[in-house]
Structure 1
Amino acid sequence: MNIVYCLDDNYVSLAEVSIQTVKKYNPSAKIIIVSEKPIEVNGADEYFVQPLNMELRHKEEKDRISDATYLKLLLTAVLPYDRVLFLDGDTICQKPLDELWNKDVKYMGVTEGHNYSKIQARALGLRRYALSGMLLMNLKNLREYNFREKCFKVLKECKIPDNLFQHEETAINLTLNKEGKLTFLDKKFNYCHNREYDNPIPEEKAVILHICGKDKSYMYRFMKYPELMKIVPEIKEKRVAIVGNSGIIFNGKWGKDIDDHDFIIRFNRGFIKDKECQGSKTSLLILACPMSGAEMEFFKPKYVANRSKSYINKADFTINSYERAVIKNSLGAQPSTGFMAVNICLSFGAKEIDLYGFSWDGISWPNDPKYKTLHDMAKEKEIILGWQNAGLLKIHK
């Protein structure tokens, strides 16, 4: 299953949320990014760079639709595949995509628009107007049809009514749709959030929910640490050790057990003073304090993550404030970094989660004994013990 996004920098953060939802229900899907210049997108499997090198009509100074949207018209030339599923970066996948992917589509599978699309259809002399936020594309047949050439010819030569502003979407409707070559699919495959339909469905029933319009805040309800997607394969279905900084870590010889895990998470200045007790390996070092390069190198971590944008340590990732805010709202206090690490591992589907050096007394051995925690350790302990009782993790002490 080949899933394609056409992006620029403005849509990367949204697309990372979209990709995460796609991977949740379709873990074997290949995620392909097409862009005008090189960009990095968490969760992507393959990249293609294709400059547009052309003047684009209907582009205004405050146009919220970016040039990257035109890249979908070039996919027949850019991609080596015969079949792809294109998704806009502001879409949410809510179910497996097998039913959609297996549809028999000669040229392109689309969904009909919401109520406003009736106005657009009439303006173009069409019975139905197709949306372009989801396109199931038979690239092999589209190449033979000369899809790319016909679309840009339409954009260059055809008089398009002033009330149509959807750019490449209009080109698709004036070529494939006008010639009856579109396959219209159930609206559940591209259902628009907060739009009016004659026959609406509950949004939770949609396979693909499209967060169209200017306000994209609803997208972030579906986000689970998208900035950490690179490490999902190293946590999902793996054994993870989370090593806290409580002094009880020195009460047992946990070192070998810790190092036998697939992925090992440590925090801040919890330097390894006794390998027999603490182990020696570090996969991810999460920082909620300033650290020098030499201090970080002591751990020899594979990855480093700042707990928030407040910390400017040289790191591979910065954990987003949205997810932390959600946890804070649940706890009634800022979550500890250890609690966030547990939440990350649960979110990413770790096979086993083992906690070492967790005591919830608010005191960690690297800190001043007079340090006063800002966290609700009693609440965090209650929740984590509940997770242990549910068989989601194990506390070693």
Structure 2
Amino acid sequence: MTKPLLQGLQRVLIHARYPTAIKKTRSEEFAEASMAHLRPLIDGKVVAAVGNAQSIFGSGLGPDIDACDTVLRFNLGFIRQPEDQGSRSDIVGVSGRLSPKSIYAGFPGARVWWLTARREMMGSGFLRRIDEIAITPRDSYTRLRQALGSNPSSGLIALAALLELFTPTKVIVFGFDWKQTPTFYPAKTGHHNWQGEREMVARLAAEGRVELRTA
């Protein structure tokens, strides 16, 4: 059986098993309401957005990350070196066909935030907990894509949503270098406009909307 055919069969089975959850993923009203899961962790808080660039290792930024009120991590960016990455994970932003089991095991107790507009990629483990997951509204994603001119990365989706949909006291960006070094775990990064994303975040930093931290 070919991979596309197997994936299609899996989606049919998931639709049959989780029809209510699938319906919720298609609802923008549900997505907008789901942002309430994150508000206590973001509004009025200093938020550390911790990326997965290899360059974070050796940075010694762990204590600065842990000093923030809330720590947001991404995809399979599990903590390997707390002295560089910090030791907490309060929110994990996910995109793509990631194993729900791996996410929940790798970030125990963290609130899951589904970032991408491709909600059909949610695995059954996420669908079972759909009422606990925050889902980025499509309008937010669409505006960002139009401004960038290409599909945004997980990190940029989260940064844009933090500033547009929430009221953090400060957003501090760690571990992002826009592919000057590779992601520290094997990853399919997609076709992203890394230079455009770097310039966009640099503008946000110049405007005082985010703070960029490196070693």
TM tier, smaller: 0.7 to 0.9
Task: Determine which of 81, 93, 100 is the counterpart of 1:286.
Answer: 93
- Partner residue of 2:136 out of 319, 322, 326: 319
With the length of structure 1 as denominator, give the TM-score of the two structures: 0.42
- Report the secondary structure of 2:57's partner residue: helix
Q: How does 1:64-79 map to 2 (within 5 A)?
A: none
SS of residue matched to 1:265: strand
2:183 aligned with 1:364, yes or no? yes
- The size of the alignment, in residue pairs, is 178
Check the 8 A contact 2:38/2:134 in 1, yes or no. Answer: no
Is 1:333 matched up with 2:150? yes
Q: CA deviation at 1:392?
A: 1.1
Partner of 2:81: 274
Letter in 1 for 2:167: G
Distance in structure 1 (CA, Å) of the matches to 2:39 and 2:68? 15
Q: How much identity, in percent, do the aligned residues show?
A: 25
Q: Which SS does the other structure have where 2:205 is aligned?
A: helix
Residue aligning to 2:172: 354
Deviations 1:284-319, CA, capped at 9 Å, x for gaps = 111113124144222214311222412225252232
Q: How does 1:52-63 map to 2 (within 5 A)?
A: none
**Cα distance in 2 between the residues matched to 1:381 and 1:295:** 27
In structure 2, give the amino acid aligned to 1:339: L
Matched, 1:380 2:187: no
What's 1:264 paired with? 71
Give secondary structure in 2 for the equivalent of 1:339. helix
Give the Cα separation in 2 of the matches to 1:382 and 1:328.
14
Match among 61, 79, 82 for residue 254 of structure 1: 61
Q: Distance in 2 between matches of 1:258 and 1:287?
A: 20
2 CA distance for matches of 1:251 and 1:321? 37
Which of the residues 210, 226, 232 maps onto 2:39?
Answer: 232
**Counterpart-to-counterpart distance in 2, 1:373 and 1:293:** 23
Taking the aligned partners of 1:292 and 1:234, their CA distance within structure 2 comes to 22
Q: Which runs of 5 or more residues in structure 2 are unaligned?
A: 1-22
Work out whether residues 235 and 263 of structure 1, in 8 Å CA contact, stay in contact via their aligned partners in 2.
yes
Cα separation, 2, equivalents of 1:372 and 1:318: 20
1:184-235 Cα deviation digits (max 9, x unpaired):
xxxxxxxxxxxxxxxxxxxxxxxxxxxxxxxxxxxxxxxxx54312322321
Q: Separation in 1 of the partners of 2:135 and 2:194?
A: 24
CA–CA distance in structure 1, aligned partners of residues 89 and 168 of structure 2? 17
TM-score normalised to the size of structure 2? 0.74
- Measured in 2, the distance between the counterparts of 1:335 and 1:301 equals 27
Aligned partner of 2:186: which letter?
N
Q: 2 CA distance for matches of 1:364 and 1:354?
A: 19
**Aligned residues of 2:140 and 2:161 also touching (Cα < 8 A):** no
1:378 is displaced (CA, Å) by 0.8
Select the structure of larger CA radius of gyration: 1
CA distance in structure 1 between the aligned counterparts of 2:109 and 2:60, rounded to whole angstroms: 22
Counterpart of 1:134? none
Q: Does structure 2 retain, via aligned residues, the 8 Å contact 1:285–1:301?
A: no
Q: 1:343 aligns with which of 132, 151, 160?
A: 160
Q: Post-superposition shift, 1:321?
A: 2.9
**Per the alignment, do residues 380 and 283 of structure 1 end up closer, same or farther by CA in structure 2, a change over 3 Å counting?**
same
Which structure dedicates a bigger proportion of its chain to helix?
2
In structure 1, what is the Cα distance between the partners aligned to 2:200 and 2:189? 21
Three-state SS of the structure 2 residue aligned to 1:251 is coil
Distance 1:372 1:355, change over 3 A: closer
CA contact (8 A) 1:227 1:320 kept: no
Q: CA deviation at 1:374?
A: 1.2
Superposed CA offset, 1:228-265 (max 9, x none): 12322321121000000001111311112111211111
Partner of 1:137: none
Higher strand fraction: Structure 1 or Structure 2?
1
Match of 1:302 among 110, 113, 116: 110
